[in-house]
Structure 1
């Protein structure tokens, strides 16, 4: 008989309650009264591990039990109150027979895999350059090491796309999760720039296997009239990774080490690999020609919808590369603290996530993706130009909020456009190239501006003009298509 999630929550809750009491009533008096510091260190570590297990039980119950979020909130709060877990257990005991289990939705694992892939990327941003320098890398090698991930990631994206169509997305997801997690553990053994380069090559390549397979799996298991909304919800996890990743790695690396940060992410990857093996292995992916957009001819690949999606992917990440490169420099030039750059980027991420999860996500199934794509690209261009003219913190926050709206409109649009422009049999390959353009866009965003030797303001203005011209081109081509159809 399958264990009810509430029973699992009860067991872990009681363990958490006992470990919390041991920490408060035994370990802390031993430290402060008897001077045994190790008591708190050991018991604190045990309690931390039990609490992590309890948190997973809360999450699992929230997913599988048909109850309100208030139960999850209460379960979390009582963990910080002495004897709270024991009182709450009486409520949970009665709830076992009252609340039934919901069917498990495998999309939750796919969303989590997307989160893992992108938090792996974003967690590197604040720490990789300093980590490379700490093992003796020169200034040139530091820059090379940072960019090497994106370059090899591109190759992984392309290979993943090709193999996904041949052997299915599940095997690529499993390979990507296991290999990426194992590669993250190799950072513990990095003691020289040469070995770091080798690790970065493998890391970027195997991590590139995950995202095309994950998005292909998601696209091939979604009905047509919900594709835009589901892609927007997937974008939520990308946005959360962009918000959580840099903050998590920056804080944890300062208190522990960079390899420890990557180990935490590796553990998440291995957990997802186990869950994928259990829940996704037997999940059937339907392949039907009904998914094909009316403008897509059978067997064609580089049609206009695919080309637009690739251009959108490239220029979206080109814009991101410019923001990552120039925004900290602009903030520093204005005389503000460097922490402002982080909060500005978090603002853009939060606005994008809200656009993804609120009812605003319905727009992606009600408005043609080429329209939302053109608007989103235009807002990114306008934001880039406005950043160059913003000199106060309020103005910068407003402009980055506008940038977040543009990002939120553009990301689901190009994904939906790609889904509608390809058949299920070619979608893996399509997504492989799609995310290769993502990786190339990040590299181009910073390297092109560096090559042109533009000033900070000039770089923002140049990028804004490029994005606005692209937006106008997309809008013009849509209108041209409408005239031809009439």
Structure 2
């Protein structure tokens, strides 16, 4: 399983993830400095909106023109955006750029996950998705921590240019990959014409539902955790993401292997129940120690759920339509993150005591996902 292709795509995903995640802890303060504090919920919502609407196109292109060009396009968007943030120094310009930046995650992760499924043995797919998730998650942890460190010692402009540097490294890694799609078609504008049937892969809908319910909480986390981190006494706004990702990484390989051996839905159910506990804990224990324990529990929960959902999506996909299935799963993810960010930002309005209520609400959605798994009729692919 540990071929040069697999290692290279994991490294590419790490730097790609670090590129856009390193901005997240500092963007609320940056938007406030521009006079847009009331638009804090749009930082993530606009990003996920364009990521979501681009998924059907990235899924189709992944299955037609190939995995590699789709990954390259998303990384190129990150590279370009890092240079434009210092220039777009108005609230409108910033929000417009966030809208465009979302195309990055609308393209690269869809093709990268599909690429992984092409280059590993099918019987170790869950394990492979877990390891690929470790790489992506490492970028998610190191990015915010490094971003906050850069901002503390340098400036917003240096932070944005550093984001572009990470994207450039990802580009170099991806451009040297060999295409894995057998029948590659040349790109034409007609390839962007998709029918209603091609927008959503119905066969992947069960995995998409769970992804939506699980990732509502992540939209809330991305939007409110920077302020919550300061409120409980930490200076580095990336603290939560460091702890969250460390625990997420520790469990991903084991969870992936368990999903290969015992079934995807059993592992997903355990992860969802852990997610309920983690979100209640985050809201209930409002101290530095409680914050760290909550971050660790949340990391464990998402580390269990995510690789199993990704592998389950591939299991459910139709022949030759893995990209479409992954796109459907990611659409649900983006909608969940976007709604979580938008609604929590609207409810929050700078009132820190309101934040625990958003965690409790997210726990309810995770519990709903657990009920769905329990009551859903089991299928052979589960």
TM-score of the pair, normalised by structure 2: 0.83
Q: In the alignment, which residue of structure 1 is the partner of 2:247?
A: 351
- SS of corresponding position for 2:102: helix
Tell me if 1:407 matches 2:328: no
SS of corresponding position for 2:293: helix
C-alpha distance in structure 2 between counterparts of 1:354 and 1:223, whole Å: 22
Taking structure 1 as reference, are residues 230 and 188 closer, same or farther at Cα in structure 2, changes over 3 Å only?
same
- Of 340, 353, 368 in structure 2, the residue corresponding to residue 445 of structure 1 is 340
Using the TM superposition, give the Cα deviation of residue 364 of structure 1 relative to its aligned residue in structure 2, in angstroms: 2.5
Q: Which of 253, 269, 279 is 2:167 aligned to? A: 269
Counterpart contact for 1:221–1:286, Cα < 8 Å = no
**Is the Cα contact below 8 Å between 1:220 and 1:424 reproduced in 2?**
no
2:140 maps to 1:247:
no
Q: What does 1:268-287 correspond to in 2, within 5 Å?
A: 268-278=166-176, 280-281=177-178, 283-285=179-181
Q: Which whole-Å deviations, capped at 9, do the CAs of 1:171-212 have from their partners, x for residues lacking one?
A: 212222234312322224333334333332322224422111
Match of 1:364 in 2: 259
1:423 counterpart = 2:318: yes
Change (3 A) 1:213 1:398: same
**Structure 1 residue 330: Cα displacement:** 5.8
Aligned match of 1:98:
none
Contact 2:219 2:341 in 1 (8 A): yes
**Residues 1:201 and 2:99 aligned together:** yes
Partner deviation per Cα, 1:415-449 (whole Å, 9 max, x = no partner)? 01001111352111222222222222112123334
Name stretches of at least 5 consecutive residues in structure 1 with no aligned partner. Answer: 1-102, 288-298
Query: Which one has a bigger Cα radius of gyration?
Result: 1
Report SS of the residue matched to 1:189: coil
Q: 1:183 & 1:315 partners in 2: Cα distance?
A: 30
Q: By how many angstroms is 1:313 displaced?
A: 1.7
Give the CA RMSD over aligned residues.
3.0
Match of 1:126 in 2: 25
SS of residue matched to 1:164: helix
Q: Structure 2: which 5+ residue stretches go unaligned?
A: 184-197
TM-score by length of 1: 0.67
1:451–1:141 Cα change, 3 Å: closer
1:384 corresponds, among 268, 272, 279, to 279
Deviating beyond 6 angstroms after TM superposition, the runs of 4 or more aligned structure 1 residues are none
> Looking at both structures, which has the greater relative contact order when contacts are Cα pairs under 8 Å and sequence separation is at least 6?
2
C-alpha separation in 2, matches of 1:435 and 1:301 = 11
Number of residue pairs matched by the alignment: 361
